[in-house]
Structure 1
Amino acid sequence: MSAERTYHRTEYPRPQFRRQAWVNLNGAWNFSFDDENAGEKEEWYRNPNFSAHIQVPFTYETKASGIGDESFHPYVWYHRTFEIPNTEIGKRVILRFQASDYLTKVWVNGVFVGEHVGGNAAFSFDITHAVTHDRTNSLVVKVEDSQSCHQPRGKQRWTDENFGCWYVQTTGIWQTVWLEFLPEEHIEHVKITPKIDENSVAFDFILNGLYDKPLRVEANIRFDGKPVKQFSFTSDRPHMHVEVNLLSEIHEWKVMHWSPEHPHLYDVTFRLFKEDTLQDEVDAYFGMRKISIKNGQVLLNNRPIYQKLLLDQGYWPDTLLTPPSDEAMLEDIEKTLAMGFNGVRKHQKIEDERFLYWCDKKGLLVWSEMASAYEFSDEAVVNFTNEWLEVIQQHYNHPSIVTWVPFNESWGIPNVLSDAKQQAFTESIYYLTKSLDSMRPVIVNDGWEHTISDIVTLHDYEEYKEAFLDRYSNQDKILTNEIPHNNHKYAFAEGYQYEGQPVIISEYGGIAFKDGEGWGYGNRVESEEAFLDRYRRVTEAIQSLPYVTGYCYTQMTDVQQEVNGLLREDRTPKIPLEKIRRVNDSV
């Protein structure tokens, strides 16, 4: 099947940590299925001869890939060639994958350079030892996937057909592949932590290449092009912590905070020197904002914020989980804001970093939710934990991310209500997350059966305002597990209790029209008037509850058989955006 439209992903894939020297490897690759898993035994990586072609980073299941085969194939192979630019000869050559699902193995010129397990986190290999500079290099990638419920898979189906709210699987490379060229001495990573109460920002550096001489780092912080602060340090250790006071005369407020209304960002350039020779230069940015909890409220920059979120699964008709373009991501964000929402719950998906970049720029709050496994086992615990820790560290610097959501609706922890092992797993993930990021709230098991959690989130698709108000007027009964909050699930797992956390209705609505196939929640409506009446009445019911501090409407767009979006899959609105906004603006 050939794609009806050609998509190209040419944007720099990691705008929060940008270098100038890079090569985009997206585009046409050779491709082959390997259903018998014969490729490694037959050493396809030495002499790849794949007759099919695929457009990376779109998976073979998508129309955009040029293949469009939705059936499951557990082993797939990719091949392309590349050359090292003359200007980069002598540097380390780093091969980077923004995401590939699920087990990825890589060979360069027939040399095995490494493997990575996980479908959501970015990863890289130093391939310097395997490349040559005087001829074309051969890059071969094998990706192994499965229908296992022990690997984090999110909304990807594990059967041959779609069912419920699970959709066509994603197999193989699904985000940008690229080369980066680094000197021996370079900046490996910088963790950036805003501290608005101290008017300062902390930088935690990891430096690479400390061998015989100390390295010097110089940093230049700017706001709107104006110089704010400069600092430098010399270090003979790979790890360095620096805190910088940001008070300056750039504005009467001295420090510019990030918020949805004013998404101010500071730019910063890091330069690494060995003696007096510049070795590495990186452009980054950060936002000065604080997320905290006090007296049953979520605070942004020490002020209560009412979160009006939209459930966003990040699927497109021709590209599935892969955003088709920068413009498509930006369109989703701008339409979300136009409807009066101030954030998204990015549901069961670790999104493209360029989406987070645009959320940082536009001021859209993000709940970052991990893709779930669906069975509990030792294997599932290891798979989930390893990948979740990668995700936190990779996305820590984005100011738009205001909440971490590792679990949803007891998926992967089906007996968490009473099973001590599964409860212990959720607690361990909570504390591991806090050990890497003490700034953001962590929601453990969004929807119901919470163990330890900074916010209590409840899912309820009740369609009638009166029934909704009657149920949630019993605040104490719901939050003490005396009654189920949605007629079938309790707010807390056994042995846990309400500790005064903020309460948010983090899934509701899901209204679908009667026309066409597919499903929504509750009765389907026949007209725009009926849709708006139900939408308004249930939303107003939530808004009227004094102890509820926000909501998340399901959902932004239709996704395959689930047709309860405010927008269709092609992003055309079902309801004029301004009419949705009027309801959201009432609080």
Structure 2
Amino acid sequence: MNTSTQIRYAQVLLFLSCFTIGLLSAQEPSAWHPVGDKIKSSWAATVDPKNPFPEYPRPHLVREHWQNLNGLWEYAIVPGKLGAAPGSYEGQVLVPFAVESALSGVGRTVGKDSTLWYRRTVTLDKKLRKQRVILHFGAVDWQCDVYVNGQKAGSHAGGFDPFSIDITHHLTKGANQEVVVGVWDPTNEGPQPNGKQVVRPHGIWYTPVTGIWQTVWLEGVPETHITTTKHTPDIDHGKLFVQTAVESAKAGDQLRISAWKGQEKIAEQTVAVGADVSLQVSDAELWSPSNPFLYDLKVAVLRKGKVVDEVSSYFAMRKISMGLDAKGIQRMLLNNEFVFHYGPLDQGWWPDGLYTAPSDEALRFDIEKTKAMGFNMIRKHIKVEPARWYYHCDKLGLLVWQDMPSGDLGGNHWDMRPGITSGRQHDKDRSPESEAIYRKEWKAIMDALHNFPSIVVWVPFNEAWGQFKTEEITEWTMKYDPSRLVNSASGGNFFPTGHIFDIHNYPDAVMPRPKLFGNKQILVLGEFGGLGLPVEGHTWQDKDNWGYQSFKNADELKHRYQGLVKDLARLIPMGLSAAVYTQTTDVEVETNGLMTYDRAVVKMPETELHQWHQQLYQIKID
């Protein structure tokens, strides 16, 4: 067979192969595969459409009987805002990946003029059928209605907080149950928190995320069951305060709460349901980035001495506070000692899953790499992660600054002059609807994340993005959770409120003037750096990528970055308590990440980064 004949023969085989694949695809519409031509992470190839994210999704309230509903659901995108469910569906979407993402298998935009519908027939696990059945959603962006067997079971508005619905009374006889979810999301064309999502992505604004983007699951619970726990450590008095909410408790029911260090029970109390508990944790092993020690916690409901319901959890003994140094400058203290906080701005976006990492392994990877690079902190930037992300931070030892996702940005006035005080008003005038949405979701986020010891700072506002009633919101946040520090407006319009005075500056490392607000606030550089290096073959698009300052090669980048670290070392003795480098990874057209968007390339050697960063934590202050 000559060469030309071989080529023609190969072409025929290729045609027949493609024809066969196309025929099979037409016969099997349920076949799933990632869509689009954008780069993808290596974990995309490991996604199992039959069982994505099989891990138990709620580390702080663990029970035995649960059923994962992640996987292929039917979907339809129809005109209008919610309303009645459609009579038919147009394909399949892989939950929990947003419909715009490659890993959803759909890759379509929804928009404010349409509703995204999901449908799935669930075969209820036998272990759940004799109990009350709770339907849980990790997160759905933004407003949704939930139907079970044709009846409306509940609604929710909020794209970043988990919610649950008791669907017991909507279940029918037999194992099969129909679940339908309708979602409406105006992205940046509504007043709700939406983070970096925009209808038309560009620059620092990214692809929309609509619908279910965290794990969906069922849980079986007894009639009387624990719904929430809240743990707050007090290392100065060696105590852990625990509050527990119980559904359908009966007269005489009790709570038994015990703390464990490995297999050793170190404290236990039995009290009436509804009573707060103070556990004595003597000679506590304190949690820190260098020693992320976690205790176990068990909570049980007792009725006449018998266990009615029991959950397992964990906690850490750690303290975040502020205090004056010898120069009279406020410092950020961890466990009553100064620890310089240094970490990346972490936006938590993925080229294949958008808001959703391809797997739990991928979710943990970013944290492990951050730790390996020698950072001790992460600023989670205007996004809330799944509970397991914070669990990994707790286990690995990363301090977390948690932002409130921004929203309602139109008409903002941004005045970056550091002399601005409450005497000059630059807050945004939000509508009553917009204010109510913000307050409701911020409280829900704080409630959902309270038990994670890695979170040490709340950040209600980023820059002037939707910043409103700054002093009121800040004071409320401080009062609602006095166990953490509050960074009022990172890089925003400055008011003498909150614990932290935080400026942004690109690319150089600078700091606020110590005496600007009378030495009443901790001094922080909340964003800086942004050094860009596009890596061929690992960019969101082939050209027109950018960074705040771009470089041609890794050596130039490394030299400039090392200079920034030296500047930080000079500023720490002058009063700087923390700094946040932009950013963990490239995100869409931004190429200023320490890693590429697909996480395939670390742009500077991890060992060198680790060595440089360790020097920052060893600097002594007076």
TM-score between the two structures when normalised by the length of structure 2: 0.83
Q: Report the counterpart of residue 525 of structure 1 in structure 2.
A: 551
Contact 1:84–1:133 (8 Å) recurs in 2:
no
Deviation of 1:523 after TM superposition, in Å, equals 3.5
Q: Report the counterpart of residue 114 of structure 1 in structure 2.
A: 154
Match of 1:244 among 259, 271, 279: 279
In structure 2, the CA distance between the partners of 1:523 and 1:15, relative to structure 1 (3 Å rule), is closer
In structure 2, the CA distance between the partners of 1:149 and 1:132, relative to structure 1 (3 Å rule), is closer
Contact 1:258–1:287 (8 Å) recurs in 2:
yes
What amino acid does structure 1 have at the position aligned with 2:505? D
Structure 2: gaps of 5 or more residues: 1-31, 36-44, 325-329, 411-429, 536-541, 617-622
Q: Report the counterpart of residue 501 of structure 2 in structure 1.
A: 456
Q: Report the counterpart of residue 548 of structure 1 in structure 2.
A: 576
What amino acid does structure 2 have at the position aligned with 1:209? S
Contact 1:269–1:282 (8 Å) recurs in 2:
yes
Question: C-alpha distance in 1, partners of 2:121/2:383?
Answer: 31
Alignment partner of 1:303 is 2:303: no
Deviation of 1:521 after TM superposition, in Å, equals 4.1
What amino acid does structure 1 have at the position aligned with 2:439? T
Question: C-alpha distance in 1, partners of 2:223/2:152?
Answer: 22
Question: C-alpha distance in 2, partners of 1:426/1:222?
Answer: 41
Question: C-alpha distance in 2, partners of 1:530/1:579?
Answer: 15
Alignment partner of 1:513 is 2:554: no
Alignment partner of 1:431 is 2:475: yes
In structure 2, the CA distance between the partners of 1:210 and 1:298, relative to structure 1 (3 Å rule), is same
- 5 Å-filtered alignment, 1:261-300, equals 261-295=290-324, 296-300=330-334
Q: Report the counterpart of residue 9 of structure 2 in structure 1.
A: none
State the SS of the aligned residue for 1:34. strand
Contact 1:518–1:563 (8 Å) recurs in 2:
no
Deviation of 1:329 after TM superposition, in Å, equals 1.6
Q: Report the counterpart of residue 64 of structure 2 in structure 1.
A: 20
Deviation of 1:436 after TM superposition, in Å, equals 2.4
Deviation of 1:514 after TM superposition, in Å, equals 5.8
In structure 2, the CA distance between the partners of 1:440 and 1:347, relative to structure 1 (3 Å rule), is same
Question: C-alpha distance in 2, partners of 1:271/1:27?
Answer: 32
Deviation of 1:527 after TM superposition, in Å, equals 2.0
Match of 2:597 among 566, 569, 577: 569
Q: Number of matched residues? A: 535
Alignment partner of 1:179 is 2:218: yes
Q: Report the counterpart of residue 3 of structure 1 in structure 2.
A: 34
CA RMSD of aligned residues (A): 1.9
- 5 Å-filtered alignment, 1:58-69, equals 58-69=97-108
Deviation of 1:518 after TM superposition, in Å, equals 4.3
State the SS of the aligned residue for 1:544. helix
Q: Report the counterpart of residue 11 of structure 2 in structure 1.
A: none
Q: Report the counterpart of residue 418 of structure 2 in structure 1.
A: none
Deviation of 1:118 after TM superposition, in Å, equals 0.9
Question: C-alpha distance in 2, partners of 1:369/1:317?
Answer: 22
Deviation of 1:499 after TM superposition, in Å, equals 4.3
Q: Report the counterpart of residue 324 of structure 1 in structure 2.
A: 358
Match of 2:402 among 345, 358, 368: 368
Question: C-alpha distance in 2, partners of 1:337/1:191?
Answer: 28
What amino acid does structure 1 have at the position aligned with 2:500? I
Question: C-alpha distance in 2, partners of 1:448/1:104?
Answer: 32
Contact 1:340–1:584 (8 Å) recurs in 2:
yes
CA deviations over 1:241-277 (Å, ceiling 9, x no partner): 0101112xxxxxx211111110111101112122233
Question: C-alpha distance in 1, partners of 2:362/2:443?
Answer: 28
State the SS of the aligned residue for 1:220. strand
What amino acid does structure 2 have at the position aligned with 1:393? D
Question: C-alpha distance in 2, partners of 1:146/1:234?
Answer: 46
- 5 Å-filtered alignment, 1:393-472, equals 393-413=447-467, 422=468, 425-451=469-495, 452-463=497-508
What amino acid does structure 1 have at the position aligned with 2:144? T
Contact 2:547–2:590 (8 Å) recurs in 1:
no
CA deviations over 1:135-175 (Å, ceiling 9, x no partner): 41110000011142411000101x3x212201001000000
State the SS of the aligned residue for 2:615. coil
Question: C-alpha distance in 1, partners of 2:584/2:577?
Answer: 21
Alignment partner of 1:230 is 2:256: no
In structure 2, the CA distance between the partners of 1:243 and 1:341, relative to structure 1 (3 Å rule), is same
State the SS of the aligned residue for 1:58. coil
Pair member with larger Rg? 2
CA deviations over 1:316-344 (Å, ceiling 9, x no partner): 11101112211112111110011110010
Contact 1:194–1:289 (8 Å) recurs in 2:
yes
Match of 1:104 among 123, 127, 144: 144
In structure 2, the CA distance between the partners of 1:556 and 1:114, relative to structure 1 (3 Å rule), is same
Question: C-alpha distance in 2, partners of 1:555/1:544?
Answer: 22
In structure 2, the CA distance between the partners of 1:568 and 1:207, relative to structure 1 (3 Å rule), is same
Question: C-alpha distance in 2, partners of 1:504/1:210?
Answer: 47
Question: C-alpha distance in 2, partners of 1:502/1:528?
Answer: 34
Question: C-alpha distance in 2, partners of 1:125/1:518?
Answer: 46
Alignment partner of 1:503 is 2:534: no
Match of 2:93 among 32, 49, 54: 54
TM-score between the two structures when normalised by the length of structure 1: 0.88
Deviation of 1:72 after TM superposition, in Å, equals 3.6
Question: C-alpha distance in 2, partners of 1:270/1:217?
Answer: 7
